[in-house]
Structure 1
Amino acid sequence: MVRGQSVDARTRGAAGDRRPRRARSRVVGVTATTRSVPVSRDRGPVVRALARPELGAVIGVVVTAVYFSTRTDSFATAGGFAAVLDIAAPVGIMSVAVALLLIGGEFDLSAGVLATSCGLVAGLLVDEYGVAIWEAIGWSLLFALAVGLLNGLLVTRTRVPSFIVTLGSFFALQGLNLGVTRNLTGEAEISGLDAAAGFESARVVFASTTLTVGGGAFHAATLWWVAVTLLGVVLLGRTKFGNWIYGSGGAPESARRIGVPVTRTKVLLFMGTAAAAWLVGTISAVRLTSVQAGAGVGDEFVFIICAVIGGCLLTGGVGSALGAALGALVYGMAREGIVLAGWDRDWFALLLGGTLIAAVLINTVVVRHRSDGQYG
């Protein structure tokens, strides 16, 4: 069996396979993938590079960096780079998780609000009930995983599109964030987390300044971003679960027929996105020592945009964790570059929209050419 062969092609070959289902699953776990049409290894490195899903993000990083470096001297400095990473890190953590979910063929529109919910759960436990910070963080993680599990089960069991299910979760969480916080505290904000027992150790883990160079402060969130990106890259490229993700998004029915646990894979992806939301919410809450109940609205679109810039298709089955991280870097550079260049911030949305359209066009061309065999 040739590695990189499509799920549909192998399904035809597996029709007469009389081995037990468990045995076939082991084979599928090692070899099945739906990474579109793979690039032939006898092609040159340039041709293979042009077929990578990260192509659009790499172009975006280079163009954005060069452009703003010529517009302001402050951009290409340690301080400017630190500011870019400070913006990109939380977005990048979520974008990688959202990218895996998109590759698996699903959306999560509740991710941004869920990050706020996790911070509020921890904050309310600390502020209203005197719970130690680490215990509160643990409870907020359980809350996030429960929301992810619920989203995943609703999508996979009811077959209702994830766009609708998570849109409902978005509004439900938004209402809970505002309603519960105001009812318990009389305000739409929770503060004073730094007074909780164990806060200093939590600050070191989630919000410390890890390095200061040339006036630029690099924070722990950047290390978390790198760790999450590496985890995503390894999962997609080196594990059986990565093959399941591609199969679940690219050809779910064919994947089921050759033993891929599509339902379990999608549920785990929703829970993974929820865990990333917990991490981002915790980083923000610990760093700011406060949580705004109305925060996070609209962030879900930023995560999806970064994932698409990184090579993900909204139809599923195609994408890259590294590309999503680079997409977040493009976002951070554009947002900080506009400020340093002295532009009106109102233009940022236009720039972001134009970048998204360009990324979609590049992704479409790359996938079409790969399918036609022009890249191998």
Structure 2
Amino acid sequence: MSDTDKSSLSSDERVKEISTFRRFLIRPELGSIAGTILVFIFFFLMARDSGMFSPAGVLNWSIVSAQFTIIAVGACLLMIAGEFDLSVGSMIGFAGMSIALLSVSFGWPVWLAIITTFILCMTIGALSGWLVIKTGLPSFIVTLAFLFILRGLTIFAAIATTRKTIIGGVRDVAEGDWLAPLFGGKILTGFFQWMGDQGWIETFSRGTREGQPVVDGIPMLIVWAIGLVIFGHILLTKTRFGNWIFASGGDAQSARYTGVPVNRVKIIMFMFTAFTATVFATSQVMEFGSAGADRGLLKEFEAIISVVIGGALLTGGYGSVIGAALGALIFGVVQQGLFFAGVESSLFRVFLGVILLLAVILNTYIRRMITGEK
């Protein structure tokens, strides 16, 4: 191409050159990256002497962040596909109660109770997606209905079966089960014991646990969170199905014209959201050894906020799993950081509201930059 051609092309008003700085500004993860850095700097200055960044403190806020991350990955992919699921929190309580009832009350093997619960919850997720597609109703309305249906069924099933809303004994029946450790176990326990023996991490100095490291392994909850983030990121950015997810949320009708199976994509994303909620519930039940009918309360909003902080647009078609994971990390660090800093914990809800408002304003500005809207 000649210099004249290049000059005429660059002056063509139909060709828009995007600067490196502007390209950086429209990255979905921008807000969550900046927020993560600021949050860590703030709590390092405010709570570093309280043990927040000791091995035990890091494990503490890492577990909380992992809980947010697991459900945020599912919510992120679904929101990019252009839909919402407000039943996530109720699904968590429903799944946990299902595992407890089947294993403790009905005497099923724990592995069978877990597998059955996954199948049941993913079927409910598919039903939610199918109803959204067939009725044309907003997913907000359909899943809001399922929020109440699942919460009511959870309480009813618990009371009708055991006359209690909290069922314990799961840890006892899970003893020796082959599948339970995949959700409630720990990895690298030998490595952490070795570090404790070397004096690299703190160990207990008295009692029955004398000589054992304070942090004796990485909980499977964290492993699941990392695994789901890696899976979601690869799916979204490296596969044709990931392109279908973006297309389904960006412009569903145009996507259909180009051969994208929009309906199938959306239903699968509802199923995946149910899957992540069940992973969360199973890990929680194995950790506490019990299930409660009120578990998962408001988790759907925390997942959505994590995704919005991560840069996803509420209108769909734009977002990042990495950004959602960073949003979840911000939540975990702030929630536990307020405790370590000695700040009133109720301020965490204030933080949620402020950070959501700021994230929506930033994302709206980014959308206008992308679309050229005034």
TM-score normalised by the chain length of structure 1: 0.85
- State the shift of 1:370 in Å: 2.9
With 232-241 and 73-82 compared, the bigger mean Cα shift is at: 73-82
What SS does structure 2 have at the residue aligned with 1:345? Answer: coil
What residue is the counterpart of 1:168 in the other structure?
Answer: 145
Report matched runs for 1:1-376 at 5 Å: 43-44=19-20, 46-73=21-48, 74-196=51-173, 199-211=176-188, 212=192, 213-214=201-202, 215-216=214-215, 218-372=218-372
Cα contact 1:134–1:198 (8 A) shared by 2: no
Q: Could you tell me how far apart the structure 2 residues matched to 1:371 and 1:324 are? A: 22
Cα contact 1:118–1:144 (8 A) shared by 2: yes
Shift in CA distance, 117/258, structure 1 to aligned 2, threshold 3 Å: same
Deviations 1:269-314 (A, max 9, x none): 0000011111111100111110011211211100000010001111
- State the shift of 1:70 in Å: 0.5
Q: Could you tell me how far apart the structure 2 residues matched to 1:129 and 1:137 are? A: 13
Shift in CA distance, 320/197, structure 1 to aligned 2, threshold 3 Å: closer
- State the shift of 1:145 in Å: 1.0
Q: Following superposition, which runs of at least 4 residues in structure 1 exceed 4 angstroms of deviation?
A: 197-200, 211-214
Q: Could you tell me how far apart the structure 1 residues matched to 2:248 and 2:176 are? A: 41
What SS does structure 1 have at the residue aligned with 2:294? Answer: coil
Shift in CA distance, 111/136, structure 1 to aligned 2, threshold 3 Å: same
Q: Could you tell me how far apart the structure 2 residues matched to 1:128 and 1:302 are? A: 32
**One-letter amino acid matched to 1:267:** I
Cα contact 1:98–1:303 (8 A) shared by 2: yes
With 301-310 and 49-58 compared, the bigger mean Cα shift is at: 49-58
**One-letter amino acid matched to 1:104:** A
Cα contact 1:133–1:198 (8 A) shared by 2: no
What SS does structure 1 have at the residue aligned with 2:346? Answer: helix
**One-letter amino acid matched to 2:158:** T
**One-letter amino acid matched to 1:308:** V
Q: Could you tell me how far apart the structure 2 residues matched to 1:248 and 1:234 are? A: 18
Shift in CA distance, 61/197, structure 1 to aligned 2, threshold 3 Å: closer
Q: Which runs of 5+ in 2 are unaligned?
A: 1-15, 193-200, 203-213
Shift in CA distance, 192/118, structure 1 to aligned 2, threshold 3 Å: same
Deviations 1:77-135 (A, max 9, x none): 32222111110112101001101000111010001110121111111011121111001
What residue is the counterpart of 2:5 in the other structure?
Answer: none
- State the shift of 1:203 in Å: 4.2
What RMSD over aligned residues (CA atoms) do the two structures have, in Å? 1.8
Cα contact 2:307–2:327 (8 A) shared by 1: yes
Deviations 1:51-74 (A, max 9, x none): 210111111111111001110122
**One-letter amino acid matched to 1:271:** M
Cα contact 2:310–2:324 (8 A) shared by 1: yes
- State the shift of 1:209 in Å: 3.1
**One-letter amino acid matched to 1:70:** L
Q: Could you tell me how far apart the structure 2 residues matched to 1:84 and 1:315 are? A: 31
Aligned residue pair count: 333
What SS does structure 2 have at the residue aligned with 1:72? Answer: helix
- State the shift of 1:197 in Å: 5.3
Q: Which runs of 5+ in 1 are unaligned?
A: 1-38
- State the shift of 1:43 in Å: 4.5
Cα contact 2:111–2:177 (8 A) shared by 1: no
Cα contact 2:93–2:281 (8 A) shared by 1: yes
Cα contact 1:202–1:286 (8 A) shared by 2: no
- State the shift of 1:194 in Å: 1.8
